[in-house]
Amino acid sequence: DQQVKQNSPSLSVQEGRISILNCDYTNSMFDYFLWYKKYPAEGPTFLISISSIKDKNEDGRFTVFLNKSAKHLSLHIVPSQPGDSAVYFCAIRIAGNNRKLIWGLGTSLAVNP
């Protein structure tokens, strides 16, 4: 049973517009939420994170929103650029357990010029 779900396997967006990637989770005992980006033939790279005590974190064009009541995490990319085309994974940590992350299956984002 998947505790972390990325319900959209793929997303296509025009360059300059907003990309919104979503992640839903079932366990209230998660405390850190992370987004990773992955290009083909490379390992994932860390993008941005948020702790459960916050509801928003920004880093340049990337903003992560956390809605704990809805158990929903989202990543906004504004403006989207062709170089953002990649697979995006959300990963969530069980509270107090720094040895285990639970990963979503990923969303493939295509930003079209």
Partner 1 sequence: DAGITQSPRHKVTETGTPVTLRCHQTENHRYMYWYRQDPGHGLRLIHYSYGVKDTDKGEVSDGYSVSRSKTEDFLLTLESATSSQTSVYFCAITSQGQGRSPLHFGNGTRLTVT
Beta strand pairing status for 45-51 and 30-38?
antiparallel
Nearer to partner 1, 75 or 91 (CB): 91
Q: Which of 73, 80, 89, 111 binds partner 1 (CB under 8 A)?
A: 89
* 60 vs 113 by CB, closer to partner 1: 60
Q: Which stretch binds partner 1 (CB under 8 A): 17-25, 28-36, 67-75, 76-84?
A: 28-36
Residues 6 or more apart whose Cβ sits within 8 Å of residue 1: none
Regarding 86 and contact with partner 1 (CB under 8 A), the answer is no
Of the candidate residues 73, 101, 109, 111, the single one contacting partner 1 (CB under 8 A): 101
By beta-carbon proximity to partner 1, the closer residue of 77 and 90 is 90
The DSSP code sequence of 22-86 is: EEEE--TTEEEEEEEEE-TTS--EEEEEEETT-SEEEETTEEEEEETTTTEEEEEESS--GGG-E
